[in-house]
Amino acid sequence: MEIQKEDCTYTASYCNENVWWLCDSVKKKFPEEIQYCYSVYISNEQRATPIWKQKASHQQDGQVVWDYHVIFLYQTSASGTLVYDLDTTLTFPCDLKQYYEEAIKDNKSLKPEYHRMFRVIPAAEYLKTFASDRLHMLTPDGRWKAPPPPYAPIKTEG
């Protein structure tokens, strides 16, 4: 399965939707591979989740503290596990081991309030169940925290 970064639908700060579109692209172009694909939410109770090697960073190490971050995993015995993160400065895709070491880092190196939790969702399920009204991207006075994507919010059939 070969996916080029420049062929992906991308809007900065909308990682959950970016991953949904990546899942959709795999389902359409490589339907036999969707069973090996996952959407992974990374967050914690404080909604302060450090991730390194991120394009949005203003720090030398590329660290950003997101409220949550979503990445796409592709796991096969032939290629191992690859991470597709449209917000990273690492390679696209990136080997899971390298991504973990450089972008995630071990919880042991973090203060307890920054320890991450991971929710892994099969891509086919994510396509069926993910929807966003984008309300979490609005400030209390109704302004966008980041410009929204040009397409309509993603909705489920239900």
Tens-place pLDDT, residues 134-146:
999 999 999 999 9
Which among 18, 7, 1, 28 is positioned nearest to 124, based on CA atoms? 28
Is the residue at 66 inside a domain? Answer: yes
Please say if 37 is a catalytic residue: no
Domain count, the chain: 1
Is the residue at 12 inside a domain? Answer: yes
Which pair of tokens denotes residue 87? 């917000």
* Predicted confidence (pLDDT) at residue 33 exceeds the cutoff of 90: yes
Report residue 157's pLDDT band, with 50, 70 and 90 as the boundaries: confident
Average pLDDT over residues 115-131: 96
37, 69, 87, 94: the active-site residue: 69
Is the residue at 102 inside a domain? Answer: yes
Average pLDDT over residues 13-40: 97
Please say if 15 is a catalytic residue: yes
Is the residue at 151 inside a domain? Answer: no
Please say if 58 is a catalytic residue: no
Is the residue at 149 inside a domain? Answer: no
Burial group, residue 60, by CB count within 10 angstroms (0-12, 13-18, 19+): exposed
Name the average pLDDT for the chain.
Answer: 95
Per-residue confidence (pLDDT) for residue 153, from 0 to 100 = 94
Is the residue at 147 inside a domain? Answer: no
Average pLDDT over residues 62-80: 92
CATH number, domain of 44, equals: 3.10.620.10
Domain that holds residue 69: 5-137
